[in-house]
């Protein structure tokens, strides 16, 4: 199972953002997080291999990089695609220095 790892410093950042919310918004967020946690079939657990990291469940619709590989289907060569991208750029923006 692919997991997302959150470091303690990232969690501390979220806590700092949380403390800046109005009390009623904090309550709403806590209720939503609690409900989400109850609905998770896979419980969160601390990663014992990497201190300060946590496992989070993988979303049901998540795709691996291998599943996405080859999904771009185009008859043009890479050079033709690059040229098309360059030609489609707009150069009407004025920059005043």
Contact 54, 5 (CB under 8 A): yes
In this predicted structure, what is the pLDDT of residue 79? 93
* pLDDT (mean) for 62-82: 80
The model carries a pTM of 0.37
Contact 88, 81 (CB under 8 A): no
Question: Rounded to whole angstroms, how far apart are CA atoms 56 and 3?
Answer: 6
3-state class (DSSP) for residue 86: helix
The secondary structure of residue 75, as a DSSP letter, is S
Question: What does the pLDDT look like over 13-55, one tens digit per residue?
Answer: 888 999 999 999 999 998 888 887 766 544 455 556 666 666 6
Contact 1, 58 (CB under 8 A): yes
For the chain, domain boundaries? 8-88
């Amino acid at each position: 199972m692919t997991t997302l790892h959150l470091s303690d410093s990232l969690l501390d950042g979220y806590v700092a953002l949380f403390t800046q919310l109005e009390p009623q918004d904090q309550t709403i967020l806590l209720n939503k997080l609690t409900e989400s946690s109850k609905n998770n079939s896979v419980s969160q657990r601390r990663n014992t291999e990497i201190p300060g990291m946590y496992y989070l469940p993988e979303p049901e619709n998540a795709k691996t990089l291998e599943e996405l590989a080859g999904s771009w289907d185009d008859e043009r060569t890479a050079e033709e695609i690059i040229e098309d991208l360059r030609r489609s750029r707009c150069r009407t923006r004025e920059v005043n220095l």
